Amino acid sequence: METEITTDESRSQGAGEIYQAAPSQTLTEAVVEAIASASGLDTLEIADEFGPLYDVIDPSALDSLFQSGGGPSPAVGSVTFEYGDYRVTVDETGRVELAEQA
């Protein structure tokens, strides 16, 4: 599971770090990888440091929101939530944007 770090002009303006989920990766996995990379923690240490992700968002709901499973069209848009020291925004393309909270 790797999360690709992409460069973006908004990063230099303090907007945060942007990651792109790998095609085989769930959004939940991408969020954890992105936070681990940004915070310098191992993915297994994230829950110890910030608490379980499921305390702030339902991982199954997040993963299924933007998936197409033969049913209705997947949602279009983004979801933003706070986790640990970060404001996390994910969208239907697998983009994960982290902004440190003040």
Which tokens is 71 given? 């049913």
pTM above 0.85, yes or no: no
Give dist(CA 84, CA 100) in Å, integer: 9
Residue type, 20: Q
Tens-level pLDDT at each residue, the chain (102 residues): 343 434 333 333 345 899 999 989 999 999 999 999 999 999 999 999 999 999 999 999 999 888 765 556 666 789 999 999 999 999 989 999 999 987
The single-letter DSSP state of residue 2 is -
Give dist(CA 87, CA 74) in Å, integer: 23
Angstrom distances, CA of residue 38 to CA of 16, 41, 61: 9, 8, 24
